[in-house]
Structure 1
Amino acid sequence: MKETMIKLRNISKSFGKQILYEDLDIDLPENKITFIVGRSGSGKSTLLNIISGMDSDYEGKITINDQEHSKWLTNNHMDYIFQSFNLLSNIKAIDTIKIANQVINRDITNDDIQELSSKISISNDQLNNTINNLSGGEQQRIAILRSISRDSKIILADEPTGNLDQKNSDFVFELFASLKQGRTVVIVSHDLAAAQKYADLIIDLENNVITENQPKFNNNDCQDLTIKTQKTSNFITKLKPTLKLVFSDFKKKWFQFILIILTFLVGIQLVSNSFIFASGAKLIQTKNDKLANNDLYIASKENGIGFSNQLIYQLKQDEKIKFIQPKYQLKNELILSYKDINISLKNNEIKQISNNDFYKDRIQLSDEGFSLKTNEIILSKEVANKLNITQNNVMLDLFVEGTNNKYPLKVTNISTNSSINGISYTYLNADLIKMIDVESYKSSKSFSLTKVNKNHVGLIYSIDAFNIVKYDSQPIIQGKKPTNSNEIVISNSLYERNKNRIQFNKDYLLTGLINNKIVKIVGITNDETPTFYQTNINTTPLPIGLELYSNDNLLTTLNNNDQYFNIYKFSNSVISRILASNSKSIQILVYASVGIILLFLLIITVISKLIIDSKKKDIGILKVLKAKVGWALFYHLATFILLSFITLLLTLMVSNGVQNIVLQNLGLTQYLSIDESFTLLISCVVWLIFSLLGIIIYSIISINTFLKNPLWLLNK
């Protein structure tokens, strides 16, 4: 008894008043080859399009593997082999195969492809040749290789030998015979002799006859035509096709792309220079002031998770970073007491620093000399006024709210400077905060496992316990023992209370320890007290934030392997500008810039339309390959984005020279002095505006095409 993979029930299809078929019932078996035959116009290809989901304008019901048709297509993919091959042009054959896999999150290697291609008589030379240079037979083999490399359980082929000679046709059909094990293969063909030779089931649409057939060709030496690659939910995998597709675009439309670059460049220079010259006399740039902390970057983590010592060590090896200051978690409010006066310190009023000469030039002090040991404090001017402290070397007490802990501190100085956001800081030694963190942890009696979403933010629900202890061979009644510090087991009483909410081997946020951390529940003990068990309980606090000092403006792109790691620049240099006089020549330049913006928009619109029209087939191929619309649009936009960055590079190279030329031609050297840094800044801002406008126009023109039916796109 053969298993049915695809069931078609009461399928009706018509074009206008012409009825193609009505109430059609067909069962397509798995592990078999089904041939659909009939004269031209009998609906063979249309039926294939309906099964593939590319044609949804029909009546009836389709199920695949006992799942509703659209639902199965959402979570799975089938492959379609066309008579016209429909391969991405101007790309190497091996890259075509890789892209077809990467768009569905399958990251295969060249070795994987070469091993599989050798089984279907495709040479390495053919793999490394561009699609346009291959013969029809070679392209059809590449199309088949593309399908089988994706491990599709269903392969549809529409007249796969229609453009091939007899020798290549026989090879292709024999190849399909090798594919049927573990797959459902459906072939549309006008070749009845081939159907009788290779098919297990023959469907004659013209005469509405379904015949079980005994294939005359027996492939007793069936090879394993699969690639053992697991699907991976990996952003990088889907990103990999980008450069190859961009390079293909450049080869096909290089003239239009050069025109876009020139339009960009001229527009940016006119607009940026008109803005600069309209600004007036002298352009001034504020120096990078240490007191403003213009070189400070803040690194933080979600949910109070600590930075590991290993990560801090790696950051210290980065030559771009001059100094790293750890910041520890303050779980309780701090209170300063002097004589009979008590004031509370908010977290954003406290700056944790080290007793290091690095800070000497970064804090304005009322007296000379910088010192900040663990038993010392530098007060802000506002806090000193509230405490009525006017001199150094006085003693005050620091209390931690909610505890009995008291820390006597000596005032070594009073700060007179404010941070860039207007908050006056009181300075404490970071090691003191670390000590406070340890003491606060000792009094902690509440522990919790909190289910978070996939980005580890947004609390969903919590599982609370009264204790957390070190795992020491307690009997496991379900699951397994914890083997590392990121695995925990829970007591049976907790499990019984929360069994409907507990998920094994899923991420939970563990709170109540000295640092929060992401853990997985791996087992259950027979303990009846609400307890968590862990192999290693850390009692030394890790910093929850890092202050990184660097003059490198690209530090925000710092490469790291920590998925919870965020970094941002604390402040940016402030640029001052003096307004210019309203000379007629400057006004003309401003009007010209407005005109060039309008011209830019017009040119980008026209060129974008030409480019998108030329790429309809490639877009259709990506959609047939089950690339998500968003990703397919990104691959398309990546070309424009790259053009934009090429323009930025050219802009940085020519901006100052162009400004000098314009300045001399306008006779404004007596009014304006050039600040090269400011020129580059304005050029970059204008470039960004032009780029965003271009991307928006390019996207609006493109999006309608990307939403079209793949069949419509492929026929263009």
Structure 2
Amino acid sequence: MIKIENVVKNYKTKSVTVEALKNVSLEINSGMIFITGRSGSGKTTLLNLIGALDKYDSGSIKVDNKELKEMSSRELDDYRANEIGIIFQEYNLLENFSVKENINMPLLIQGIENENPIDEALRNVELEEMKNRKTNELSGGQRQRVAIARTIVKKPRIILADEPTGAVDSETAEIIFNCLKKLSETSLVIIASHDLESANKYADRIISFKDGRIVEDRVINDKNQSIVKKEEETAKLKNKEILKLALSFLFRKPKRLIMILLIFILSLTGIIISDTFGSSNTDKVLLNEMKKNDTRYLVYSQSFYTSDSNIESYMDDEDVNYLLQKIKYDGKIDYVYSFYDEVDYNYGALASSNNYYRIKEKGHIEIDNDFMSMYNFKLSAGRLPENDNEVVVTEYIYNKFQYYGYKEGNKSVKISTFDDLIDKDLYLTGRNDGFKIVGILDTLFNEKRYSKIRDKNFVDNGLKSQFLINSYESEMNSGIHNSLYFMNGYTKRFFGDYTNEAAYVRIIVPFSTSESNKLKLFVNEVKYPTIKDKYEKNNIVSVEYSIEKGLFTDVELLKNYFNLIIEITQIVSVVLIALITLLFIYYFNGLVDGRKKEIGILTAIGIKKAEVRKIFLIEALYIALLNIIMTLIVSLMILRIMNSFTTSTLGLSVEVFYISIRQIVFLVGFSILVIILGSYLPLKKISKKQLINLIRGK
């Protein structure tokens, strides 16, 4: 069965070479074989070589005429899983696992899923009542018997026992030897022991070693029974068992797991928050908010930038065409036309001056039913203009009349309802003819948000106030809410054709939330020939087209407010990425290094090296998964607090900070990549070591 010829095994240290086995030759076929000798005589080394835990330097070891040295890694895995059962002197049980879980390991490899073999093995070693106990709760003798039960449960053809009774009392030793003696009837049992009394009592053959050589080979009972060869099977753990084992290993040391998760989660949360600050997707924020508010339009303005200042400028057709080309729009647009007349003459003086109403009317807009439908506007009272001397005012302008009163001759008339203003005359400075107010338009302006500014006791004394004022001014600058609305064609009939003049205060572009290209806020260098020729002589270096809306102002102001924080967090992100990469690699190097013994034990009982690597890689991936989930939860909580700060403390109308696909992809990719790098490389390195060294923790 086992044929050993001229086997030599040396161990090299820094200074000397120790000859553990010197040209050992023997054949072993059946029975209970004792290999005796003093410590260091070579008996344990021989068992390690037969068990494929170590490699010999020269000679030959054949099992059923198969040379161990010539076996592939897979064949050796199958050999350890099916043919060999090893009982270690140091027990080598998996700590923190139960007795049942330890004994079940060899069965998992063989695909056996019932507990009958476990119960039978425990009966053989008289430990039935310990089945569900943790191995670290057992005495030394009990642990040794569990190690024997783990070996015999798979019914191996060859059992190798290294000092199986070396650390137990005489009663336990007798139980162990009686068990092994019974097993020797169907299996070859080879025991390395210095216990000559037990050898003489139980052995069928005693082989004595001294200084790496056989000095005596004595047959007591000549047993020539043949050991039935098992059918060759490929040892393989099922994927579900690999997942279970990885999960079991994960929670064996919960304190260390919690500590490392806390470090990773806090570090990665810092990176996610930092990246969120620095890469907040303005377009997405705006699109979400505009979709929520059913916004149907965008209002664009134009400004010139010189070398030392910026100046708001009205647009002509050339400017408009250039802008529309940039936002890739070729449909119908509307205009806020300029006029230089004052409306203030019409307001009374029933109330004191108020900053809320200090912004003058912006211009005029032509209105019809299509305009109303396009932008989802409605009339709060009255009708649309049907003649050039009729005008529609917005609810905002109506509120100004309600606040100041309506000037009628030399007196102020109180305006309390929409009907109070309908049919009143509106006079513009520089015009002799008045316009009859025939309607009041709801432009969907959210005045409630700016109610604090409207309060006459309002004091601008804080950051929140500044955000609110800037947002309000942007809404007013759009011209939508504080312009006069005339009938279609009024502008051309009254002013003539002045399209070559800079007559457009703003342009109004229809918008839907699928058209994100229209959200672009850009400053364009004057490169295009017509634009360059037009502005270069005036020392204009660039032209800015901006969207006039409080929501956009909120976002831009917030980004400016957090600009320093963004710069700092970006630096912090780089530092944290480097730090956490090193930390991950250091942790998993330590984790794998601390698991060397477990890796050796699992491989020794027949689990393939590739499967062992897979178990620990999956354990690492479990950590990554926990890390990803918890980091996302913590990050979302922090961002919720940040958004609460921006909406309540700063008074913004929109939540700016959120986790995007970018952060999720980074979190998942970074976690998995670093964990694989941190665990796979040390696992690969360890897999090249001899099993016996791993089992010894070297």
Normalising by structure 2, what TM-score? Answer: 0.54
Pick closer, same or farther for the CA change 1:245–1:199 going to 2, 3 Å: farther
Matched, 1:49 2:48: yes
Q: Paired residue for 1:618?
A: 598
Q: Paired residue for 1:656?
A: 636
Matched, 1:208 2:215: yes
SS at match of 1:63: strand
Q: Show the 5 A alignment for 1:436-455.
A: none
Cα contact 2:274–2:566 (8 A) shared by 1:
yes
Q: Show the 5 A alignment for 1:156-195.
A: 156-195=160-199
Matched, 1:283 2:264: no
Pick closer, same or farther for the CA change 1:668–1:91 going to 2, 3 Å: farther
1:714 to 678, 695, 698: 695
1:143 to 144, 147, 157: 147
SS at match of 2:127: coil
Q: Paired residue for 1:646?
A: 626
Cα contact 2:273–2:639 (8 A) shared by 1:
yes
Cα contact 2:586–2:678 (8 A) shared by 1:
no
Cα distance, 1:669 vs. partner?
8.0
Cα contact 1:286–1:574 (8 A) shared by 2:
no
Range with greater deviation from structure 2 (602-611 or 37-46): 602-611
Can you give the 5+ residue segments of structure 1 that lack an aligned partner in the other structure? 219-223, 288-572
Q: Paired residue for 1:87?
A: 93
Q: Show the 5 A alignment for 1:424-439.
A: none
Q: Show the 5 A alignment for 1:315-326.
A: none
Partners of 2:654 and 2:679 lie apart in 1 by 37
Cα distance, 1:22 vs. partner?
2.6
Matched, 1:37 2:32: no
SS at match of 1:210: strand
Q: Paired residue for 2:122?
A: 117
Partners of 1:18 and 1:8 lie apart in 2 by 20
Cα contact 1:655–1:683 (8 A) shared by 2:
no
Cα distance, 1:664 vs. partner?
6.6
Q: Show the 5 A alignment for 1:383-398.
A: none
Partners of 1:578 and 1:225 lie apart in 2 by 81
Pick closer, same or farther for the CA change 1:585–1:164 going to 2, 3 Å: same
| Deviation string, structure 1 residues 245-280 (Cα, Å, up to 9, x no partner) | 54344333x333223212332233222233333234
Cα distance, 1:673 vs. partner?
3.5
2:3 to 7, 11, 19: 7
Matched, 1:73 2:81: no
Query: What number of residue pairs does the alignment pair up?
Result: 413
| Deviation string, structure 1 residues 598-655 (Cα, Å, up to 9, x no partner) | 1212222332233223222111111211221221112222332222222233234333
Cα contact 1:107–1:232 (8 A) shared by 2:
no
Cα contact 1:282–1:673 (8 A) shared by 2:
no
Partners of 1:127 and 1:575 lie apart in 2 by 66
Q: Paired residue for 1:536?
A: none
Partners of 1:138 and 1:686 lie apart in 2 by 47
SS at match of 1:240: helix
Cα contact 1:656–1:680 (8 A) shared by 2:
no
Pick closer, same or farther for the CA change 1:585–1:671 going to 2, 3 Å: farther
SS at match of 2:189: strand
Pick closer, same or farther for the CA change 1:686–1:578 going to 2, 3 Å: farther
Cα contact 2:98–2:134 (8 A) shared by 1:
yes
Partners of 1:578 and 1:57 lie apart in 2 by 73
| Deviation string, structure 1 residues 415-468 (Cα, Å, up to 9, x no partner) | xxxxxxxxxxxxxxxxxxxxxxxxxxxxxxxxxxxxxxxxxxxxxxxxxxxxxx
Q: Paired residue for 2:203?
A: 199
Partners of 1:66 and 1:622 lie apart in 2 by 26
SS at match of 1:251: coil
Superposed CA RMSD: 3.5
Partners of 2:278 and 2:520 lie apart in 1 by 9
Partners of 1:143 and 1:243 lie apart in 2 by 22
Matched, 1:261 2:251: no
Cα contact 2:249–2:619 (8 A) shared by 1:
no
- Computing the radius of gyration over CA atoms, which structure comes out larger, 1 or 2? 2
Q: Show the 5 A alignment for 1:288-327.
A: none
SS at match of 2:251: helix
Partners of 2:240 and 2:262 lie apart in 1 by 28
Give me the identity figure in percent: 27
| Deviation string, structure 1 residues 532-566 (Cα, Å, up to 9, x no partner) | xxxxxxxxxxxxxxxxxxxxxxxxxxxxxxxxxxx
Q: Paired residue for 2:611?
A: 631
Letter of the structure 2 residue corresponding to residue 14 of structure 1:
N
| Deviation string, structure 1 residues 359-413 (Cα, Å, up to 9, x no partner) | xxxxxxxxxxxxxxxxxxxxxxxxxxxxxxxxxxxxxxxxxxxxxxxxxxxxxxx
1:704 to 676, 685, 695: 685
Letter of the structure 2 residue corresponding to residue 646 of structure 1:
L
Q: Paired residue for 1:108?
A: 113
